[in-house]
Amino acid sequence: MGEDLNYLFNPGSIAVIGATAREGSVGGVITRNLLTKFRGRVYLVNPSYTELLGHRVYRSVLEISGDVDLAVIVTPAPTMPKIMSECVTKGVKAAIIISGGFSEVGEEGAKLEREVKEASQGRVRILGPNCIGVYNAFNGLDTFFIPQGRMERPKPGPIALISQSGAVAAAILDWAARKGIGVGLAVNYGNKLDIGEIELLEALAGDDNVKVIVMYMEGLKYPGEGRRLLETLRRVTRVKPLVVYKAGRSRSSGRAVKSHTAALAGNYEIYRALFRQAGAVEVNNLMDALEVAKALATQPLPRGNRVLIITDSGGAGVQAVDNVESLGLVVPELPQELRSALSKSLPPFASTANPIDLTGSATDAMYKFVLDTVLPTSHVDMALVLAQMQLPGMTPKLADYIIEARRFGKPIVVYGISANEDAKAFKARLEDGDVPTYDRLETAANALRALYEYAIVRGLARPG
Amino acid sequence: MGEDLNYLFNPGSIAVIGATAREGSVGGVITRNLLTKFRGRVYLVNPSYTELLGHRVYRSVLEISGDVDLAVIVTPAPTMPKIMSECVTKGVKAAIIISGGFSEVGEEGAKLEREVKEASQGRVRILGPNCIGVYNAFNGLDTFFIPQGRMERPKPGPIALISQSGAVAAAILDWAARKGIGVGLAVNYGNKLDIGEIELLEALAGDDNVKVIVMYMEGLKYPGEGRRLLETLRRVTRVKPLVVYKAGRSRSSGRAVKSHTAALAGNYEIYRALFRQAGAVEVNNLMDALEVAKALATQPLPRGNRVLIITDSGGAGVQAVDNVESLGLVVPELPQELRSALSKSLPPFASTANPIDLTGSATDAMYKFVLDTVLPTSHVDMALVLAQMQLPGMTPKLADYIIEARRFGKPIVVYGISANEDAKAFKARLEDGDVPTYDRLETAANALRALYEYAIVRGLARPG
């Protein structure tokens, strides 16, 4: 990670400028969050107080004797140029300006924004203004100003999120937390006065905590950024997978983008081509982005596009084939000798062609037998396991067999729509064992497609 | 409902043939379910017992002195011809044969199936064999043989499900129950020895408890059924909306269909054309089918395809436009005089073009003002309200304002991804007030599209 942006995500010390204890206010939420969660030094700054929540309050950053790596600023826009000058004097390395009231509100705000930039003299790197800032689950840096009761925080994990929208980031982090998806880092860059998506991509590409980057974007702001974005994405995808959701795809939504982030949504087809050229995996919403990222963070890359499907429900098997094949993967009929081998140990009415339909007689042991028999062969490149935990022969023990099957070095994902006690235990055990689980077939299929697509990008598989 | 099928769904009395108290067995689950839940007379039949769970057990239906409207049969396949003859003698009106071991297992079973048909002399209408039967939330008729702990049952409601797959029906009912979606009736017809999807469609079309029919199908079984299906679907959609999910769309999934239900998946494009001609609403999975049905069961039909979007998150607004427009609906820019009227009472940086972006300053009252100002005008035909309950100005009170806006006679659906306490209360209140809520934008957009499509079918709106 470039040193400047390292201070943005991993500061040793933070000054909260505009610190307050006011319940429910933006500054109040941030002050409390940082005081209670951040694993580093936190200084409170506000000329109106001398003490807050039992902590000393400084009149300005200049009063602080220790080093300040990062300033988190929540004071009103007009105060910002002076505060920025003080940050420069103090030697602050980076600043997150949460406050709005800048270019997003018109010409006067834009003027203020330029003054802040000048005041920073290029010596303080700036995230924002008008942003929700940074969430770092590893060190407790959290400037998301929505209280915990309204927004749960995800556990540490290998996924990082770059979002052009703060509210969208807050909503999806809350969802990820409830789904148990580990999103270790998230960042929103607001008006992009200084740091934008391109530098953030570079920083996260070099961060060892991050295995997959998810990006939400609505459009670029400045001419010529497209080329830089393409080059950056290319560099990133050579190192780690990148999943992107681009909103603002129609004329009307382009209008909405302009009023939302002052960006140009541009022609969606051009963006699609750019992502394809860059080797990024595209999805159609952020939930799918994180679900797909879960697979990219845990599964080996497949050498081809052939999917083994095992099911305890013939109907779910049919639907799985539809979903998988509509995305360009294939469900090959297994060769006769392999089918004969399977038939010998499966119930007489099980279907062995692929999908392997174990029918209502399905047991954990049958799944294990199929995985152990078919996965090591050269006939399939990955597996989609469907299991509902509704049948009498099924138990959470199946999770262990699936986790053991990881030894064959092929991606495995699991689909189940049930949520009974056994289904919950089954899925929890799988997730702990780094096997992603899904409650929608489309999403499971999407995850396999993403693995295959990225395998092509990395030269491990050939286009089908 | 035709009288014969009325006995299938609404019998006054049931004989459970093969009744048992054995824990976890198919017969055991059904015997217990019917004894505890069915609001009518239940007779237990099994020559091996004289008493079970405190109830008298008859040696055969012929021993029962009262009328038997419906026989639910779980005995082994070879016993079936004799049992069917006894049912004819007894004057049983309909039978659900749960047991497998018939045409799905080969020629011997097929022979047995023909014998059962002959034995019935056309006097007992048969559902099955090899099916999961009927779930009727209104009267407690429940032959779904998965215990409650593994499959929750949905509350009574206006949606009916016809499923070609028993396991698929069980999985989706469980999901519907957890989502709080009322599915009052569900039926699976197994090997379709007698009663099939066409008669079931006709029966449900005439059932006043049913407002929307959802059908899951993999393929038809017999030549010539396509034409009858088209005619039936046409008759149904003239009376009530029908949502269909057809699986078995690719060559490989057609192979899976054949082994699963012995049906012909057929050419998917032909099915698509058939559904379109018949005025059925097509979806791509059963979750969406039920979600869309929720809107069709509660919302008035729109007169056009123009959607008002109100949001507290600019990004979600952009995404909503993408989703809505990708389905052929439009998000029109509102005329200047209306925008001026809105601007007067909204914060200066709210966007009034449509989407109406209330920004982070959003409050319940602002939503109410926009709904009351824009919905009654001729500029929009329906509304998609996005609300996250993450901002300080938002409370569950908004639900009341939205419910009040139903007076304008236009469909309203609500999207929110949050699940904090306020979000849960907000959504629960809306659902109680017959406003459908969604946690995926695609699904919300799909619901609006379905309403518009069905409005065209009913001649209320013109194709856009």
DSSP output for B69-91: -EEEE-S-GGGHHHHHHHHHHHT
Number of helices (H), then strands (E), in chain B: 16, 19
Question: B71: Cβ–Cβ under 8 A, 6 or more apart, which residues?
Answer: B14, B15, B17, B61, B83, B87, B92, B94, B95, B96, B124
Q: Which residue has the tokens 């009744």?
A: B19
CATH superfamily, domain A3-296, is: Succinyl-CoA synthetase domains (3.40.50.261)
Q: Which residue has the tokens 């028993």?
A: B166
Question: B107: Cβ–Cβ under 8 A, 6 or more apart, which residues?
Answer: none
* A4: confidence class by pLDDT, cuts 50, 70, 90: low
CA distances from A227 to A222, A224, A236, A269, A302 (A): 11, 6, 14, 15, 30
**Residue A281, token pair as written in the block:** 């995996």
Contacts A396 to B, Cβ<8 Å? none
Confirm if B436 and B447 have CB atoms less than 8 A apart.
Answer: yes
Q: Which value does ipTM take for this structure?
A: 0.95
Q: Hey, what amino acid is at B98?
A: I
- Which of A150, A316, A422 is nearest residue B168 as measured by Cβ atoms? A316
- Using only C-alpha atoms, what is the Rg of chain B? 25
Chain B nearest CA to A125, separation (Å)? 25
CA distances from A287 to A155, B379, B385, B439 (A): 16, 32, 19, 10
Q: Name residues 353-382 of chain B within 8 A of A (Cβ).
A: 353-355, 357, 360
Q: Hey, what amino acid is at B308?
A: L
Cβ <8 Å between B318 and A440: no
Is some CB atom of chain A closer than 8 A to the CB atom of B167? yes
d(CA B64, CA A430): 52
What number of residues does chain A have? 464
* pLDDT tens for each residue of A232-241: 999 999 999 9
Confirm if B45 and B14 have CB atoms less than 8 A apart.
Answer: no
- Neighbouring-strand partners of residue B127: B96
d(CA A161, CA A211): 11
Contacts A355 to B, Cβ<8 Å? 256
Nearest CA in chain B to A103: B349
For chain B, first and last CA: distance in Å?
36
Chain B nearest CA to A322, separation (Å)? 6
Q: Name residues 183-212 of chain A within 8 A of B (Cβ).
A: none
Q: Buried (b) or exposed (e) across B85-122, using 16+ Cβ within 10 A?
A: bbbbebebbbbbbbbbbbbbeeeebeebbebbeebbee
* pLDDT tens for each residue of A331-361: 999 999 999 999 999 998 899 999 999 999 9
**pTM reported for the whole predicted model:** 0.96
Determine whether B415 is exposed, middle or buried from the number of CB atoms within 10 Å of its CB (0-12, 13-18, 19+).
buried
Phi, psi of A410 (to 5 degrees): -120, 150
Mutate to test the interface with B, among A104, A252, A351, A415 (most CBs of B within 10 A): A252
Q: Buried (b) or exposed (e) across A281-303, using 16+ Cβ within 10 A?
A: bbbbbbbbbbbbbbbbbbbebbb
d(CA A293, CA A303): 19
Count Cα atoms within 13 angstroms, Cβ side, for A350.
Answer: 26
Cβ <8 Å between A171 and B255: no
Cβ <8 Å between B322 and A248: yes
Element (H, E) at A162: strand A159-163
d(CA B326, CA B444): 13
Q: At what angle do helices B336-345 and B364-374 cross, to 10 degrees?
A: 150
Task: Give me the pLDDT at residue A259, please.
Answer: 82
- Tell me which architecture the domain covering B300-457 has in CATH: 3-Layer(aba) Sandwich (3.40)
Confirm if A132 and A166 have CB atoms less than 8 A apart.
Answer: yes
List the pLDDT tens digit at each of the 464 positions of chain B: 445 699 999 999 999 999 999 988 999 999 999 999 999 999 999 999 999 999 999 999 999 999 999 999 999 999 999 999 999 999 999 999 999 999 988 899 999 999 999 999 999 999 999 999 999 999 999 999 999 999 999 999 999 999 999 999 999 999 999 999 999 999 999 999 999 999 999 999 999 999 999 999 999 988 889 999 999 999 999 999 999 999 999 888 888 888 888 888 889 999 999 999 999 999 999 999 999 999 999 999 999 999 999 999 999 999 999 999 999 999 999 999 999 999 999 998 899 999 999 999 999 999 999 999 999 999 999 999 999 999 999 999 999 999 999 999 999 999 999 999 999 999 999 999 999 999 999 999 999 999 999 999 999 999 97
Instruction: Please say if the pLDDT value at position A70 is more than 90.
Output: yes
For chain A, first and last CA: distance in Å?
36
Q: Please, where in chain A does CATH 3.40.50.261 lie?
A: 3-296, 300-457
d(CA B323, CA A256): 13
Confirm if A322 and B247 have CB atoms less than 8 A apart.
Answer: yes
Is some CB atom of chain B closer than 8 A to the CB atom of A392? yes
